[in-house]
Structure 1
């Protein structure tokens, strides 16, 4: 008996069939949602509530078009309008979404996701430091192919005055409030230890010896936006540390680039320093910090 022949299965013409375009997350989307988001984005960047004409202009659309979106956003609680001034501002639903997002952020996790890219960009060892019980503490470490001769380990606490990490934390944590009261005695203790260092020990450079010199170093760190040491931690070693801030403007962690002075460009405007600074600013923005201008 000849084998039974079955008709070829036709290609599906069902309304449930999904095209490549519909499954491509980069191409599929709803344009009106993206357009409406520009209004919410404009409100989030404004210093306060906005008049309709100003909000529309900031979002790049006509006032009539913006008003239609705002009516829907008001119904959803994303936007509210002051009945007296008629100005628009973010509503309670936007606040709930923002707070939920912030509560789920893990600064160190987000920073670790950027370490490989920063290592590839700078070509030097990259580390992450957070404030621990004893001071700025290394919690993640990624070595460059040409390892810098530094015997640092995870959990090491960095000095405040002779490491880029310490200078970064001292500058951006210790300017005011409770943190300043905690850091000030630590700086005095470290100064006392530096004065007792044996003269026949390793020759270190750019090491402050007085409180006035400390203030000069920390002022420059704030002005430059990151800490730097050259021959200060160890002879022949240089490093930068950039601060990463959270949504409340608190120092969340420090991003570190470390290398030999023979290969690491130690100029403030050099590629390693500027690449590190850009990465830290973008991470701060992802954590909800208001960064004035992203590079």
Structure 2
């Protein structure tokens, strides 16, 4: 069998072409329809919901073309449509692609069985999250079987100071890092109950350090409450946070310490598997 030899000069060109493509240069033979579909996908980085008219304007195409592109993305699970508003949001397939970056992280893999057991024991939705800058990124979830429940937040981001797990993760940061994340006194809010001032947040973080858990009472979404604890590795470093979330109407303040203790016990058992 003959071996096909590639001239060294040609190989060098090929390598430089690959590097150029990685750097984001426009390809020599672009496919407009594919590019438009990918531009649509990228719009979901900054917008939770996108309407056909918005897609049409952003892409510079007629509405019928924008609708066909969105329909094809929906067919492949990359977007999903709200039946009432007709707006589109990121679909499960797109979320899975994003989570592929963290899917093999040992924290997610090792904690999955504990999330499943906690959801059964507590009867509520259990979420797993990590800190990404000043945001909380939800990387796994097990939903409650109750009809009225909080839904999975996998792939979603919230300002860390508005979530129970985010507060736990922020509480373990040094003062200097907190100052970098929150350089101004005013904080972004999601609801009327959200923490609005940096000084208020820092007092809340002191309470989290003292009691060992964080809470969220309608701060990220008006009708959702949660309690969370940190998950440490074998060296005592916090890697993630586990939260039980429930409808605010079913959130029993008196049971918070008990729920936190259950979460902490599970996190402690999981810690021995993390590095």
- Interval containing the TM-score (normalised by the shorter chain): 0.5 to 0.7
Over aligned residues, Cα RMSD in angstroms? 2.8
**Structure 1: gaps spanning 5 or more residues:** 1-104, 289-295
The structural deviation recorded for 1:229 is 1.0
The structural deviation recorded for 1:230 is 0.9
Larger radius of gyration: 1
Q: Distance in 1 between matches of 2:187 and 2:117?
A: 39
The structural deviation recorded for 1:167 is 0.8
SS class of match (2:139)? strand
| Matching residue of 2:244 | 257
Cα-to-partner distance string for 1:132-185 (whole Å, 9 max, x where unaligned): 46632111111101255656532212212211121111112x235xxx42x433
| Matching residue of 1:193 | 188
**Structure 2: gaps spanning 5 or more residues:** 1-104
Indicate how the Cα distance of structure 1 residues 148 and 134 shifts in structure 2: closer, same or farther if over 3 A, else same: farther
Check whether the contact 1:164–1:240 (CA below 8 A) recurs between aligned residues: yes
| Matching residue of 2:174 | 175
| Matching residue of 1:208 | 195
Q: Is 1:234 the counterpart of 2:221 in the alignment?
A: yes
| Matching residue of 2:158 | 158
Q: Distance in 1 between matches of 2:253 and 2:206?
A: 18
SS class of match (1:191)? coil
Cα-to-partner distance string for 1:181-213 (whole Å, 9 max, x where unaligned): 2x433334693433xx7xxxx5x33x3333321
Q: Is 1:284 the counterpart of 2:271 in the alignment?
A: yes
SS class of match (2:129)? strand
Indicate how the Cα distance of structure 1 residues 279 and 133 shifts in structure 2: closer, same or farther if over 3 A, else same: same
Check whether the contact 1:126–1:256 (CA below 8 A) recurs between aligned residues: yes
Q: Is 1:245 the counterpart of 2:245 in the alignment?
A: no
TM-score by length of 1: 0.51
Q: Distance in 2 between matches of 1:190 and 1:266?
A: 29
Indicate how the Cα distance of structure 1 residues 115 and 193 shifts in structure 2: closer, same or farther if over 3 A, else same: closer
Q: Distance in 1 between matches of 2:195 and 2:133?
A: 24
Indicate how the Cα distance of structure 1 residues 269 and 240 shifts in structure 2: closer, same or farther if over 3 A, else same: closer
Indicate how the Cα distance of structure 1 residues 243 and 258 shifts in structure 2: closer, same or farther if over 3 A, else same: same
Matches within 5 A, 1:118-157: 118-132=118-132, 135-146=135-146, 150=150, 153-157=153-157
Q: Distance in 2 between matches of 1:167 and 1:228?
A: 8
Q: Distance in 2 between matches of 1:218 and 1:147?
A: 33
The structural deviation recorded for 1:270 is 4.2
SS class of match (1:145)? coil
Check whether the contact 2:212–2:229 (CA below 8 A) recurs between aligned residues: yes
Q: Distance in 2 between matches of 1:127 and 1:259?
A: 11
Indicate how the Cα distance of structure 1 residues 192 and 227 shifts in structure 2: closer, same or farther if over 3 A, else same: closer
Give the number of equivalent residue pairs.
172
